[in-house]
Amino acid sequence: MVSKSQIKLINSLHQKKYRKQHQMFVAEGKKVIAELLQTNVELVALFSTSPQNFATSVTATIISEIELKKITALATPNNCLAVFKIPNATLPLQNGLILALDNVRDPGNLGTIIRLCDWFGIETLVCSEETVDVYNPKVIQATMGSISRVNVCYTNLEDYLKNTKLPVFGTFMEGKNIYQEKLPKKGIIVMGNEANGISKEIEALITTKIAIPRFGKLQQTESLNVATATAIILSEFKRN
């Protein structure tokens, strides 16, 4: 069973303010939880509506579906929910390809982008402080477990880019055709906000403007979704 104080704590963790205060986050669903259990992320509590085999020595506290409904952040809850400690963010190494997000706000987009980083072997994802919190339950859900393999850190993106020696790439309508550019093995790729793209302050720090060419006859499509644009750009950087 779940105690009243646990219900209160877990529900508070659906808000960023309390995740920061308690330094804990919630993960739901067997797959995501199982992947996190295999990392160094410290488990605080684990609940399940039925006995689960997590392939570790961890045992879940069995709870009823009614109890699960009291603690889940999902409209259709999974059968298990865990609370983990937020790991200390490792300072990003300036090595290889790094993806940076300038104010990405949609949890689904951030989750999908983390999955893409995992697929393309991008180990570090640097987020501006305004980017949606990676420990938001919807982000954790959308990563499908990839969260355990990508180092996500939040920082002042402007300062971070001012202090790098790596080339900084950003997507702009007037940028150079990405299919024709020689793309390096080391560098920082910046993706912008869903509605406004890359901000003026960050644009000033971009060293190479790139563009994904449009092929539609009417050329009326205004933009690609930030996650699909990230997919195409990472594929281009990695394909050679």
Contacts to its own copies by CB under 8 A? 35, 108, 112, 115-116, 118-121, 144-146, 149, 179, 212-218, 220-222, 224-225, 227-232, 235-236, 238-239
- Taking the complex as a whole, the smallest distance from the CB of residue 154 to its own copies amounts, in Å, to 22
Q: Which is nearer to its own copies, 159 or 215 (CB)?
A: 215
**d(C-alpha 137, C-alpha 110), whole Å:** 12
Rounded to a whole number of angstroms, the minimum distance from the CB of residue 82 to its own copies is 19
Phi, psi of 24 (to 5 degrees): -135, 160
Q: β-pairing, 124-128 with 80-85?
A: unpaired
Shortest reach from residue 158's CB to its own copies, in Å: 28
Q: What does the alpha-carbon distance between residue 110 and residue 90 come to, in Å, rounded to a whole number?
A: 19
101 versus 205: smaller Cβ distance to its own copies: 101
Q: Which two tokens stand for residue 128?
A: 């501006």
Nearer to its own copies, 114 or 161 (CB): 114
- Distance of alpha carbon 123 from alpha carbon 52, whole angstroms: 30
Q: Where are the alpha helices (DSSP H) in the chain?
A: 4-12, 16-22, 30-37, 65-71, 107-119, 137-143, 157-162, 200-203, 226-238
Nearer Cβ to its own copies, position 67 or 118?
118
Which of residues 48 and 143 has its CB atom nearest to its own copies in the complex?
Answer: 143
Q: How far is the CB of 100 from its own copies (least distance, A)?
A: 18
Both structure tokens of 43: 């488990």
Min separation Cβ 106 and its own copies, Å:
10
